[in-house]
A and B are shown apart, each in its own frame.
Chain A
Amino acid sequence: EDQVTQSPEALRLQEGESSSLNCSYTVSGLRGLFWYRQDPGKGPEFLFTLYSAGEEKEKERLKATLTKKESFLHITAPKPEDSATYLCAVHPANTDKLIFGTGTRLQVFP
C-alpha cells in the first residue's frame, strides 16, 4: 500500500537554528515527490518536485533531497516567516492520485 509518513509532527526552532524535516514513503513506482508549504487557513503552496534518488533542489533557506525511501527538507538558519506546516506527497505510478503525509508543523521563534 502506498504510504507517506512525516516526522516530527511538530518542530519548534529558535531563529537561526537549522534542522531537517523527514518524509518516509513506500510507493509502487515513484513518478515524483512533492513538498508544499501550508499557512493556516490557506491552500498548500508548491515548493519542490523531486523525481529520482540523489536529486536535490534549493530555494532560499530550503533544500530538499531524495533517496529511494525518504526525502528530507533541510531548513538553514530559519526565520519566523518560515513558520508553517510543511506537507510531503508522492505521486505513484499508474495513478492520478497524490498521497499526502500529515505534515510537520514548524514554528520558528525570534
Chain B
Amino acid sequence: ETGVTQTPRHLVMGMTNKKSLKCEQHLGHNAMYWYKQSAKKPLELMFVYNFKEQTENNSVPSRFSPECPNSSHLFLHLHTLQPEDSALYLCASRGTGGADTQYFGPGTRLTVL
C-alpha cells in the first residue's frame, strides 16, 4: 500500500450504531488530520494530531471521537450520529516543518439513516 488509505470506503449506519473509520499513512509523516466534506461547503477540519498528540479540535461534537495510537494510524469512532453527519470523511497526513503538503486518502462516504 502506498500513500494514505482509508477503510471502509462506504458506510451506512443507523443513529444508534457505533462504528469506526480507519486511516493509515505510508508516507512517514508525523501529522494526521480528519476532515468532513459536505456538498457545497468547504472542507471542514475536525481534528489534528502531531506526533500522536491532538493539537486541534475544531469544536467537533462529542459523538465523534478520534484516536491516534501511533503516527501511522488514525481512527474516528462514531456513535449516536445524526442524519446531518452524512458526508465524505477525509483523512490526510503531512510531514513536519514549513508548509509541507497535506496528502489525502480516498475518503469514507458515510450515510446516517
Contacts and interface: CB of A to CB of B under 8 A. Distances in A.
Size band of the interface chain B makes with A:
20 to 34
B101 A44 contact: no
Size band of the interface chain A makes with B:
20 to 34
Contacts of A46: 101-104
Interface of B is mostly: strand
Interface of A is mostly: strand
Nearest to B4: A43
Interface in B7-35: 31
Interface of A: 4, 31-32, 34, 36, 41-46, 49, 51, 87, 89, 91, 96-103
Interface of B: 4, 6, 31, 40-43, 45, 48, 50, 55-56, 58, 88, 90, 92, 98-99, 101-107, 109
